[in-house]
Amino acid sequence: MSGGDARRDEMPEIRQHTTIPIRVAQRLPMYHRHLYELPMDGVTHISSAKLSAYMGVTASQLRQDLSHFGRFGHHSYGYRVDELFHILTVILGLTRKHKMVLVGAGHLGRALANYEGFARRGFYIEGAFDIDPSVVGGKLAGIEIMPVEELAGFLQRSKIDIGIIAVPADAAQDVADTLVDNGVRALWNFAPRRLEVPQTVVLEHVHLSDSLMSLAYRLHKLDVCKNQTAYRC
């Protein structure tokens, strides 16, 4: 779409109406995160080689991934960090605010509610719910915890984008149903339970144990392979 190279003072055109391989989509948040961190180290411009090394991918992979969305980067000095950060912000749809509800005010729910990184990215918890009467009425990150029976009514009154499911496995499907039936189109599920949702709803399931198994596997490989790199024997 954009005919020539991006120039210094012009924001390059961003193609968003494009089919993206799922693996590319999965790397975008990581790119965004690294681009947020770089200016903290005083980096404002960076070569493609250095940026990709910092992010743990190859330079050609980074270039290829970004090429789905347009022509970014400059022949002379690589990437402007602020520009590329903005581009990733647009691609990911983070230029707008996201409203969330949290269902489950246990330790995990509280940890999530207190995570400062979410508000910085425009993600706000607008309501928190729990089934436990001893918890209901208390506060969580400044928000009053409501009884879960009020979840449906709350969703009908408020436009909520994302439902966070931080309840025990047995309760997760019921919570998901209530969220979906009342217009929530994105679920962030922490319950160790496979959820059934309509195809029009997006679902991210956080499997913490996968990450621990992966760590164990790499430790095991260290022992099996008796050398310093985790995947090579």
Tokens of 198: 């309509």
Residue closer to a copy of itself by CB (options 74, 171) is 171
35 or 146, CB closer to a copy of itself? 35
Nearest partner of 14 among 74, 79, 91, judged by Cα: 91
Rounded to a whole number of angstroms, the minimum distance from the CB of residue 185 to a copy of itself is 6
CB of 63 to a copy of itself, least distance (A): 19
| Residue closer to a copy of itself (CB basis): 149 or 225 | 225
Give Dmax over CA atoms of the chain in angstroms. 62
Q: Which is nearer to a copy of itself, 49 or 169 (CB)?
A: 169
Q: How far is the CB of 172 from a copy of itself (least distance, A)?
A: 14
Q: At what angle do helices 59-67 and 22-37 cross, to 10 degrees?
A: 110
Residue 103 corresponds to which amino acid?
V
Q: 68 vs 74, which CB is nearer to a copy of itself?
A: 68
Residue 184 CB, nearest distance to a copy of itself (Å)?
Answer: 10
Contacts of 187 by beta carbon, 8 Å cutoff, 6+ apart: 162, 163, 165, 176, 179, 180, 195, 197, 201, 202, 203, 204
Handedness of CA 46, 51, 53, 59 (dihedral sign): negative
3-state helix, strand, coil in the chain (%, to 5): 45, 15, 40
Nearest distance in Å: CB 93, a copy of itself: 3
